[in-house]
A and B are shown apart, each in its own frame.
Chain A
């Protein structure tokens, strides 16, 4: 699948994960690559972009036996953006599904 096309949807997936709880970068990368076929490194530029857009913030947290981890957390703006984009995406996805199913039936 086209990477630019995937990126928009991946942003949504990252925000949906962060809505549930704060995560560090590697956790997010693992979570996404478990479900979606992408290069492991793809998530880091996405996190960076969301952060520079003000949708995410980061904080450092000490971990026992290791350097402090950088956690990502959804901001209020991020929360609002996520809800708005989620509705838009779901509506879009449903429309596409309906269209393609119609297409299927026509061919039969």
Chain B
């Protein structure tokens, strides 16, 4: 049996037994052929060693026999059309709510990205001695540099958060999409695909890397914020250094500078 004969036979049997995700299974066998052929085996040898495609298809069928697909085939016999209509109407309402929910989640994602970018901009201004429109309150450069690093770390933290949140929202939407697909498939007696997990499916390596970055950024943020406060207190000689430097409309003597009051 050649590769194509084997795969065609397998596909035919999977289709006949209504096994879900048949394309995924076939691609796994295709890869097996690819690896073995790279090792110098002939298609016939590989197919012979793989075993009988009909027997494999039967194994897939027994492993996928879950209660949801059994109930769908029962429902199929009595009034499939009515059941499908009810499911579709129900799903329309569910989609409406889920859609609003997803818009809300995406809005939060945008806020997190904006926050991260804003923090990064402030950090650049503080570190680079840029005082655009005098938005940065007066302080010695060393204080500004330390606080700038703290805010840069906060920006990184927010960036990691937004990456993770984006992965979460994406997976949630995919999971909901699969639920939607399965609900219709079950109502119309088609094969049900395995449901997807809700939590983000990051590769272990990426997951570890994100966690390390977040941890380092958190430590830098906490340490440099406290350090910045202390340095500011020492260099201004006052516990409430913002009064000493005249932030928020206060002069060095602590008198309100609004002219109308003077």
Map CB proximity to B onto A58-72 as digits: 1 under 8 Å, 0 otherwise.
010100000101100
CA distance A41 to B36 in the complex (A): 12
CA distance A29 to B49 in the complex (A): 11
- In the assembled complex, A91 has its CB within 8 A of some CB on chain B: no
Interface size class of A (residues with CB under 8 A): 20 to 34
- Chain B's closest residue to A67 (CB) is B31
Asked, given contacts A22-B204, A59-B201, whether A40 binds B63 with beta carbons under 8 Å apart, the answer is no
- In the assembled complex, A19 has its CB within 8 A of some CB on chain B: no
- In the assembled complex, A80 has its CB within 8 A of some CB on chain B: no
Q: Do the beta carbons of B194 and A51 come within 8 Å of each other?
A: yes
Of the residues B25, B50, B60, B197, contact of A40 by C-beta under 8 Å: B50
Interface size class of B (residues with CB under 8 A): 20 to 34
Q: Do the beta carbons of A52 and B194 come within 8 Å of each other?
A: yes
B-side interface mostly: helix
**Residues in B neighbouring A81, C-beta threshold 8 A:** none
Of the residues B35, B36, B64, contact of A48 by C-beta under 8 Å: B64
CA distance A52 to B52 in the complex (A): 23
Residue among B35, B194, B204 with the highest chain A CB neighbour number at 10 A: B35
Asked, given contacts A48-B63, A48-B64, whether A39 binds B25 with beta carbons under 8 Å apart, the answer is no
Q: Do the beta carbons of A52 and B56 come within 8 Å of each other?
A: no
Asked, given contacts A57-B197, A59-B203, A61-B203, whether A41 binds B31 with beta carbons under 8 Å apart, the answer is no
Q: Do the beta carbons of A45 and B194 come within 8 Å of each other?
A: no
Q: Do the beta carbons of B51 and A42 come within 8 Å of each other?
A: yes
A-side interface mostly: helix
- Chain A's closest residue to B10 (CB) is A41
Q: Do the beta carbons of B64 and A41 come within 8 Å of each other?
A: no
User: Which B residues, 63 to 92, have Cβ-Cβ distances below 8 Å to chain A?
Assistant: 63-64, 66
- In the assembled complex, B208 has its CB within 8 A of some CB on chain A: no
Q: Do the beta carbons of B50 and A49 come within 8 Å of each other?
A: no
User: Which B residues, 20 to 70, have Cβ-Cβ distances below 8 Å to chain A?
Assistant: 25, 28-29, 31-32, 35-36, 46, 49-53, 56, 59-60, 63-64, 66
Question: What are some 18 contacts across the A-B interface (CB < 8 A)?
Answer: A25-B31, A25-B32, A39-B52, A40-B36, A40-B46, A41-B50, A41-B53, A44-B29, A44-B60, A45-B56, A45-B63, A48-B60, A49-B63, A51-B194, A52-B64, A69-B31, A70-B31, A73-B204
Q: Given A26-B31, A29-B32, A41-B51, list of 7 further CB < 8 A pairs?
A: A24-B31, A39-B49, A40-B49, A44-B56, A45-B59, A45-B60, A52-B66
Q: Which residues of B contact A (CB under 8 A)?
A: 25, 28-29, 31-32, 35-36, 46, 49-53, 56, 59-60, 63-64, 66, 194, 197, 201, 203-204
**Across chains A and B, which 4 residue pairs bring their CB atoms closest together, nearest first?**
A39-B51, A45-B59, A49-B63, A41-B50
